[in-house]
Amino acid sequence: MTMAERALRGTRLGATSYENDRNTDLAPRQEVDYTCTKGHRFTVTLAAEAEVPITWECRSCGATALRVDGELPQTKKGKPPRTHWDMLMERRTLEDLEEVLAERLEILRAGRRKSA
């Protein structure tokens, strides 16, 4: 049995790295503090050149956390969502709808009279 076989006996290959951080230069980093609405405070380590987001998901509860030195992003004013009724009213007037309803009711009533 060789020396390498004895050293690796009982380990799972690929599961653990046997390299160390000696003689390596790590990329410059920055630590950013966040606080969520429930009071949890945590730190996220990012690359120094990375764009720091204003919000981050809380590691404890999953709520949206705000950067400690940041302000809430401004919400954009958009159009309210259109409902089916809104889209229908763009195509028809109330008088048109009442007319269509009367026609459909008459067709239904005529069908019931024939089957009865």
Binding residues for Zn(2+): 36, 40, 58, 61
Cα–Cα distance for residue pair 90/84, rounded to 1 Å = 10
Q: What is the CA radius of gyration of the chain?
A: 33
Query: Are the beta carbons of 27 and 33 closer than 8 angstroms?
Result: no
* CB-count burial class (<10 Å; 0-12, 13-18, 19+) for 44: middle
